[in-house]
Structure 1
Amino acid sequence: MSDPRPVLVVTSLHDPTADVVVRELHDRDVPVVRLDSGDFPASLSVEAEITRHGVRGRLSTPSRTADLAGIRSLYYRRPTGFVFPHLTEQDARFAVTQARYGLGGVLASLPGCLYVNHPHRIGDAEFKPSGLAAAVEAGFRVPPTLITSSPGAAKAFVKQHGPVIYKPLHNPVYRVDGVSSVVEVAEVSAEDIDESVAGTAHLFQQRVPKTADVRVTVIGSHVFCVRIDSDLLDWRTNYNRLTYTPVESPPGIEQAIHHYLNRFGLVFGAFDFCVTEDGQWWFLECNPSGQWYWLEPETGLPMCAALADLLETKT
């Protein structure tokens, strides 16, 4: 007898990665309720009662209703933010806060639910300083890194550890002539450092002399490693210049990966490494909500099936 409990997929309307996962689950006759928490309250409503048996109630969209006590698993991807355009600025700020801690708190408290990943754990892991510290603790090789708002400290770091690259600590989307853009990783010299560094926090990191990059996608107990060859400092700036090869990880990497994920309570992670000429893997970052599906057609690795297996897990 099939399990009637649905998988809850929380993401934006336009999310091609979630689309393929939902399709895979439908093909397996696994019920799915998909919603964007950013649609609250216009086309998403919540009724949640806190009882001695846990959270009870329902989430309702125009086409679906989900029993909060009967969610099998939750795939938390990339929902949009809450907006209240009909309210004044002050009232909207209050309403957004109530929505975040109300609906957000309910989504984070589903009884007996497998989270991929739990939204609070995603939030913890998205802080780059925390991730780099956890990577060192897990046993990864991590390049010397400085987070600072001091121009003097930045100059001294560049002089000591050059060549050095600059990375954003988080990547908000900029619109340039209407096109979404991101701040790219770039090499910096001591001459590039000026007083504008004092305006906010910045991340500087020694540039590792790499021969390739590796994206490691971890889905539950499955670890998929793909070598990415290009002549780019940041391979994400031009996907047309990339070639992909499935590879095995060196000794100790998988153990460190699972140590890292356990540290944050994650069951999914998209790790980025760079590879040096001697074959050593250097940790760069782990994105707890990273993209992965574009690699499946390029490599044939069964990542979508692995994720559907995880979400379908019967407890």
Structure 2
Amino acid sequence: MRPPRGAVMVITSAEDITANLVIEALIERDVRVARVDPAEIGDALSFGARMGAGREKWAGRLRTPSRDIELDDVRAVYYRRPTPFSARFAHLPVREAEFAAVEARHGLGGLLEDLYGAAYVNHPAAINRADFKPAQLRMAAQLGLAVPETLITNDVSQARKFAAEHGPIVYKSFRGVPREPADRVAAIWTQRVAEHELDDSISVTAHLFQKEVRKSADARVTVIGRQVFASRITAPADTLDWRGGDPDQIGYDPVEVPASIERALRAYLDRFGLVFGCFDFALEAVSDQWVFIECNPNGQWAWLPDSAAMAHAFADVLIGG
């Protein structure tokens, strides 16, 4: 089989292990791959693009220490997790840093998000639309998926009333917390909240509360193009959020996704303009009902048992365009 024409651009940071698996799968198939972190703009990344004089799309080149690529030669883009532009200009005074980051985001970032004719997995605009939990929960409910009773508020009286009606309830952050110094990642795991713990500090910002799902296990369903990968995730008894537990005590087993849920997930991706998504479900202990928790439109999957097969599924999508 002849390798496909055109290159695949992988937009991500240098430390992205998940992207490495996809790059390896593409190289195995003799696909030309250009790994680009836009935040390296400067001596390590230069570019030039022109349009006009009869041109209807941007044409030009992008150069890194290891790649020299024609922009109109890119057939597909795997958009992962590039370094924020703000990190590139952190050494500048605040005002200059903000200006440089915005200009880079709209100039270089704008070009990389508008490569005409290239297939995106996923396009940053689609990721952004699908990244908000209110939209995720609304879409899931409209597609017939079970969704926990949910309240989003900054009103302590509403929060207390919700806890009284639906307790036990849990609190979840919308996006987690910023990175700590030395680029260490912090997290706020799902946590139980009692009515008496709710106070006026809730008014400071938005909070998400849900009725707790009494579950026997969790499920992670990863949809890549037309391929579906699913694992049943088990943790020690009374574990509320398996992500914060001891990895050695977490079990992963293949699980079959009910046909009705698989149809809903495909429709979910279609409506958000996504090609790929990582869906989390809680499996109710009594009924074994699949309860939708969230979808990460740009999620991690390298830690899952079938990550090698997933990498090749990504390669299939990117090669197919």
Q: Same fold (TM over 0.5)?
A: yes
Cα distance in 2 for residues equivalent to 1:303 and 1:35: 21
Cα distance in 2 for residues equivalent to 1:291 and 1:191: 36
Aligned match for 1:303, one of 302, 305, 310? 310
Match of 1:126 in 2: 131
1:177 CA displacement: 9.5
Amino acid at match of 1:93: E
Amino acid at match of 2:118: C
Query: Do residues 18 (structure 1) and 19 (structure 2) align?
Result: yes
Amino acid at match of 2:203: A
Where in structure 2 are the equivalents of 1:84-99 lying within 5 Å? 84-99=89-104
Aligned match for 2:175, one of 156, 170, 174? 170
1:41 CA displacement: 3.1
Match of 1:252 in 2: 260
1:3 CA displacement: 2.7
Q: Note if contact 1:246-1:299 (Cα within 8 Å) is conserved in structure 2.
A: no
Where in structure 2 are the equivalents of 1:81-230 lying within 5 Å? 81-82=84-85, 83-175=88-180, 179-230=184-235
Structure 2 unaligned spans of 5+ = none
Report the CA distance shift for 1:119/1:179 in structure 2 as closer, same or farther (over 3 A).
closer
Match of 2:29 in 1: 28
* Percentage of identical aligned residues: 45
1:289 CA displacement: 0.9
| SS at 1:172 equivalent | coil
Aligned match for 1:241, one of 246, 249, 255? 249
Match of 1:266 in 2: 274
Amino acid at match of 1:255: R
Cα distance in 1 for residues equivalent to 2:71 and 2:307: 36
1:173 CA displacement: 3.8
Amino acid at match of 2:175: H
CA-to-aligned-CA distance 1:5-34 (integer Å, 9 cap, x gap): 111001111011111111111111111000
Cα distance in 2 for residues equivalent to 1:266 and 1:177: 33
Give the structure-2-normalised TM-score: 0.92
Query: Do residues 68 (structure 1) and 75 (structure 2) align?
Result: no
CA-to-aligned-CA distance 1:31-78 (integer Å, 9 cap, x gap): 100011121234222322234432212221122122111111100111
Aligned residues: CA RMSD:
1.8
Query: Do residues 55 (structure 1) and 55 (structure 2) align?
Result: no
Amino acid at match of 1:237: G
Structure 1 unaligned spans of 5+ = none
Cα distance in 2 for residues equivalent to 1:88 and 1:151: 40
Cα distance in 2 for residues equivalent to 1:178 and 1:312: 34
Q: Note if contact 1:224-1:301 (Cα within 8 Å) is conserved in structure 2.
A: no
Cα distance in 1 for residues equivalent to 2:308 and 2:15: 24
Q: Note if contact 2:44-2:65 (Cα within 8 Å) is conserved in structure 1.
A: yes
1:200 CA displacement: 0.8
Report the CA distance shift for 1:301/1:8 in structure 2 as closer, same or farther (over 3 A).
closer
Q: Note if contact 1:72-1:114 (Cα within 8 Å) is conserved in structure 2.
A: yes
Q: Note if contact 2:80-2:298 (Cα within 8 Å) is conserved in structure 1.
A: yes
Cα distance in 1 for residues equivalent to 2:29 and 2:191: 44
Cα distance in 2 for residues equivalent to 1:86 and 1:211: 50
Cα distance in 1 for residues equivalent to 2:133 and 2:276: 17
Amino acid at match of 2:293: L
